[in-house]
């Protein structure tokens, strides 16, 4: 099992990069650090700064909002970061966000999301492989562009750099996008998906791998989760509820919230409906209180070290290949997970 450190929102009035945790992650043999982007800061500039101030930890985006960049630009950007960092890019994580952000912030139509993700990955592969000039005839992307207002002068081009093929991860909750990740990409970044629920995606993953002629060993599953070390389990579960209420209740419109949909699929339909109703009516504290303890406990590792060790076995026995430690991560939790996964031993660090 690999370990990674996930960086979420990096601040409000200024960018706050958690250097202590990043340097500890590097010392403990973490595979990589993932950086998110939201409507405020991007993911690549912080990763560039991190690369300049660390020595070996891998770099990944979780996630780049693909509507905000063309596939060619993303391929260029991540190639540049990879070359400047000495080949340390280990994950080009892309995803959809949602129509509120894409149409509200980026001013782009949400379109056919699953088709867009699949075509985006294929175009980046063409750029990196350099086997032919870039040309693509898809439903969401046509290169050279020949649609409305086209001059007709577009020319198929090859990258002037000779890049390596970078690993593509898709941040997704819907089964079709997970299948597309398996077919056209290298990995899937899960969001709040406990190991016992991965079986619901098995058929889609295997279908994508079959289409591409790949095996299970060719596909990474990076599970984003929280690890909260505490003697008070209830207190630890409560720490998760503000963020869960935000995503299940308010990260999307009432009729299109992918986080809410996922929680419903996991068997918490009544709670998901209640959380959303409370959150959208401005009753955020009540929305937090409506988040079930059982849901929190399913999707995270919470409690004293012995309880975490016991519950970690479910992750170890699953198809998850990497755990992304996110919100509420402490040095104590990082050291415990480095011990459980063996990452510290791989680099000879003491825990």
168 and 290 together in one domain: no
Q: What is the CATH number of the domain that holds 13?
A: 3.20.20.30
pLDDT at residue 350 is higher than 60: no
Planar angle of CA 229, 311, 171, nearest 5 degrees: 85
What is the mean predicted confidence (pLDDT) over 313-339?
94
Mean pLDDT for the chain overall: 94
148 and 255 together in one domain: no
The pLDDT, as a whole number, for residue 349 is 64
pLDDT at residue 345 is higher than 80: no
| Count of structural domains within the chain | 2
40 and 121 together in one domain: yes
pLDDT at residue 251 is higher than 60: yes
Q: How far is CA 255 from CA 144, 180, 261, in A?
A: 35, 24, 10
State the Rg of the chain over Cα. Answer: 20
86 and 76 together in one domain: yes
For the whole model, what pTM was predicted? 0.94
pLDDT at residue 117 is higher than 60: yes
The pLDDT, as a whole number, for residue 9 is 80
* 118-169 residue pLDDT tens: 999 999 999 999 999 999 999 999 999 999 999 999 999 999 999 999 999 9
pLDDT at residue 109 is higher than 80: yes
Q: How far is CA 68 from CA 114, 172, 264, 314, in A?
A: 16, 17, 29, 37
The pLDDT, as a whole number, for residue 23 is 97
* 259-300 residue pLDDT tens: 999 999 989 999 999 999 999 999 999 999 999 999 999 999
Peptide bond into 86 cis (omega under 30): no
The pLDDT, as a whole number, for residue 189 is 97
The pLDDT, as a whole number, for residue 22 is 97
* 171-180 residue pLDDT tens: 999 999 999 9
Q: How confident is the model at residue 97 (pLDDT cuts 50, 70, 90)?
A: confident
Instruction: Identify which of 218, 237, 217 has the alpha carbon closest to the alpha carbon of residue 227.
Output: 237
41 and 109 together in one domain: yes
Task: Indicate the angle between helix axes 202-212 and 175-184, nearest 10 degrees.
Answer: 30
Domain membership of residue 7 as a residue range: 2-227+305-347
């Amino acid at each position: 099992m690999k370990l990674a450190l996930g960086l979420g929102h990096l601040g409000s009035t200024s960018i706050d990069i958690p250097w202590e945790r990043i340097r500890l992650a590097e010392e403990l043999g973490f595979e990589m650090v993932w950086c998110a982007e939201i409507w405020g800061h991007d993911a690549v500039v912080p990763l560039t700064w991190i690369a300049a101030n660390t020595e070996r930890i891998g770099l990944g985006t979780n996630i780049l909002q693909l509507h905000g960049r063309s596939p060619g630009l993303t391929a260029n950007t991540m190639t540049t970061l990879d070359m400047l960092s000495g080949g340390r890019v280990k994950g080009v994580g892309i995803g959809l966000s949602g129509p509120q952000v894409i149409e509200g912030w980026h001013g782009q139509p949400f379109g056919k999301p699953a088709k867009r993700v699949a075509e985006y990955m294929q175009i980046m592969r063409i750029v990196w492989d350099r086997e032919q000039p870039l040309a693509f005839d898809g439903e969401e992307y046509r290169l050279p562009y020949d649609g409305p207002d086209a001059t007709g002068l577009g020319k198929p081009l090859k990258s002037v750099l000779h890049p390596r093929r970078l690993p593509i991860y898709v941040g997704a909750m819907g089964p079709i996008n997970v299948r597309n990740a398996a077919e056209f990409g290298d990995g899937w970044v899960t969001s709040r998906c406990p190991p016992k629920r991965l079986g619901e995606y098995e058929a889609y993953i295997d279908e994508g791998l079959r289409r591409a002629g790949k095996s299970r060993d060719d596909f990474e599953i990076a599970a984003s989760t929280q690890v909260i070390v505490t003697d008070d389990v209830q207190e630890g579960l409560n720490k998760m509820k503000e963020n869960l209420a935000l995503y299940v209740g308010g990260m999307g419109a009432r009729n299109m919230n992918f986080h809410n949909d996922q929680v419903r699929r996991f068997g918490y339909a009544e709670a998901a409906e209640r959380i959303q109703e409370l959150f959208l009516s401005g009753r955020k504290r009540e929305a937090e209180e409506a988040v079930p303890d059982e849901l929190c406990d399913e999707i995270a590792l919470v409690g004293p070290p012995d309880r975490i060790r016991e519950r970690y076995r479910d992750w170890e026995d699953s198809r998850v290949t990497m755990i992304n430690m996110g919100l509420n991560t402490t040095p104590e939790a990082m050291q415990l997970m480095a011990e459980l996964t063996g990452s510290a031993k791989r680099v000879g660090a003491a825990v």
